[in-house]
Amino acid sequence: MSAGIKRRFKELSMSKKQRVGGPAEFFSPDRIAGGQPPLIIRFFKIIGEAVCRAGEFPVSVPPVVRAAMWLLLAIMVPVLLFPGSWLYPQDAPGIHPILISQGGALLNKLVPSDLPHMPLLSVACLWLQNSTIYELQTLWFLISIIICVLGYSCGAMLSGRPAGVAASTALFAGQAWTASFFDLEQRFYCLILLLVANALALTKLSSRVRRLVEGGAIGISFLSRSVLCLFPFVLAMFEFKNAKKYGLKKLSFRIFLTLAVPFLFLLPWIRFNLVTADRFALFDGRAAWNVVTGAMGIVSTMEGDYHKLAGIDRDKSEVLSAAKLILNDPFIYGAGVVKRIGFVFSIYPLTLLCWAVLTAVMWKRPDFRRVNLLGIYFMALHTAFSVEERYLAAIVPLLAAVVVISVFALAGERANDAARKEGTFLFAVGAVPPVLLCLFCVLLLLRHPGKIPQADVRRALAAALAGHPGNSWLLSEQGRSRLLNGDYAGAYDSLGKAVILSPGDMSAKIDLAVAALLKNQKNNRPAAGADLITKMLFPGKEWPFPPTGKEYILKALYEIDKGREQEAQKSIRQALKIRRNSLYFKLKSDIIDEEKLRSFDNAIAGRFLLELAAYFPAGKKEKLCSKFIFMYEEGKLSRQAAYLWCDNMLWQMRAGWKEVSFTQRDYMQPVAKPGTASAVDNKNRDDIRNIISALSRARKEHKRVILQLGGEWCDWCKRMDDVFKHDRGIAAFLDRKYILVKISVGQNDPPPPAVAMYPRLNSCPYLYVLGCDGAMLISKSTESFEIGEGYDRDEIMSFLRAWAPDSPPGL
């Protein structure tokens, strides 16, 4: 082979017909334009041809053996060059990157995914269950092998076997170049993106089969992440360039396949959400988060309430709200796009620059164009909207692989039929595990029975633990279930075993501290259990994880129970500080929005507090929670109002809410000083008690609550009261559907504290319609009901019917 290379080099460079006089003549435009490339280009052409011919090595062996040898080489080269990439970093404090606690013992009919998250990642780690580093390493190695197979298949289909080896190596090199930690979530999503890239690289199949394969691969990616949600529409747009060639009928059918097949995979997910969460959802909440913050011109977000940050209602479409934000101030959005472009290229400058140049060079080749279209879509999405660095970390290895495949394609010939067939076969082999996993996930979504009683959950956990007694996730779930049922000793035992098996599980350790505290209090040892809280506040080698704020909330509840309110207040402030520091944007130019995001955050009171309070026994739960809310608000909320809000939040938590709406209300009246209680204070206390009592009745009787604000000084209030009492139709309807609570308001006084959390009234009488959870559904001035010197009965009845609850189940 070396003799052939020398002979070819001599023919191209030393022939008398091709000999030139000097460098100026050699690089002259006329000479290059005449069809004779410079020597350097011919040199690389020769090297490229040699490399492509090397793909036929060894020539004498059977094709199957040759294919196996090249595949083994594609696996061994990354192992030798990047051995650390094949081992999961054991020094990571948490083996929890994909929130395994949000998965489930799926075969035992538990919830397959936390509702806001797409389910496939949780299913992918079902067999790990956060148990041991050995199991985690096994899955890590398996995913790495599949990535090598799919990387080699993509390179072989596009540019031959050597390109396949280089592509599988570049995938691990791209992982090593990523700025953020490449954990199990990113590696699994990189595998899914490789699946899509291979499907896009298929060229020898019929157009119908190819679109089915592409649609299936994109559909699998939907169940992993909703990032590719718009990609089918991009592919459909490219179909229009062949409109004249295929005609309207064939074009419509191609577009239908391109769009319909991927979204079929979402039907089980939609059904699951309708049954389990009583809501319609196409994708996870992360997509809406990125769209809205991107429309505001923000580069990157971490956590926080983006609805309040953007000033949009939760019940409105995030996409339409984002479009409105862009139209209202396109300059801010445009500046955000520019900032995001600079931010993305500053993270991976070399990889993205090489990929962009080679994408332009290779655009005329249909197979490369479709694969590069995936990268273009990702980059466009991450500059048009808010950036997710973990998604970038998943796409960068793929872009690095495309770069080396493009270099091989430029240097030599295209892949021959044998290499392309091998690549197609290996793509089918590598796709089997993710496809089976996806089908398993779809089956679980379809067979999930919906909301499951806690008794059935406990039985399912017991059955799962009987088969997997050393599974730390199952043990921690059993411990939480026992905590909720008051079995503190059993919870302490289960959670203790879970913490030993999985020392990086922060959530299990906090729950263990709660179990220790409540177990010892039940055994009349109230001071015991505090040592675990201390360990969480001062982590060391034994408990090596950073604080999240939740442990300080537990400490605050402990101090409140002991009557040490000053220490509790310090703990609450420390929790707020830790939570505040966890909310940030990537660029200093977004500092103003960052401060707003922090001021709107309600995770401390709306999520962490309720998760801990759920474990405490009745009576103590309400007492600790209301005192915590009063201290959290630092005097902006009266103790009575704090009790009301605490009662509502606890009820919402029992109803299954993931996070309760709770915001600081700076406009509230200051709390009266101790010792100055008056008749007004007593009246406010009575109003709050009446509201709490009405809400309690409304939950039991499946009704809603109407707060009627007025006073004896108001003539129209008396007329409204007369209609509610003496109009038979309205009175009967009110009795069936509502509970009426009358609240007296002074003519020139501010709103009473009992309703200070609701919008201010501007006239009397005034109505607030509340759901049984205390959330305000509508505030209504009654001026629109007036007709002459009275009220329009039909208008009032229409309003009451519009806001009445549905009939209770079974009626």
Per-residue pLDDT at 651: 58
Q: DSSP letter for 656, please.
A: T
Alpha helices in 502-564 (DSSP H): 506-522, 530-537, 550-561
Residue 675, Ramachandran bin (φ over 0: left; ψ between -120 and 50: alpha; else beta) = left
Q: Where are the domains of the chain?
A: 2-54, 63-276+349-445, 547-664, 695-802
How far apart are the C-alpha atoms of 501 and 470, rounded to whole Å?
8
Burial of 19 by CB count in 10 Å (0-12 exposed, 13-18 middle, 19+ buried)? Answer: exposed
Report in angstroms the alpha-carbon separations of 609 from 79, 524, 571, 662. 47, 25, 13, 11
Phi first, then psi, for residue 708 (nearest 5°) are -105, 110
Half-sphere exposure of residue 556, counting CA atoms within 13 Å on the CB side? 30
- Predicted pLDDT of residue 657: 43
Task: Give the per-residue pLDDT at 193.
Answer: 93
Report residue 261 as tokens: 């097949």
Query: What are 170's two structure tokens?
Result: 């570049």
pLDDT at 18: 44
Low-confidence residues in the chain, pLDDT < 50: 1-2, 5, 8-9, 12-34, 90-113, 127-131, 179, 181, 540-544, 655-678, 681, 808-811
Which CATH number is correct for 695-802, 2.40.30.10, 3.30.1490.20, 3.90.420.10, 3.40.30.10? Answer: 3.40.30.10
Distance between CA atoms of 750 and 765, rounded to whole angstroms? 15
How far apart are alpha carbons 738 and 520 in whole angstroms? 45
Q: What's residue 432's pLDDT? A: 94
Q: Kindly report whether the global pTM for this prediction surpasses the value 0.75.
A: no
SS3 label, residue 769: strand
Can you tell me the distance from the alpha carbon of 568 to that of 554, in angstroms, rounded to the nearest whole number?
10
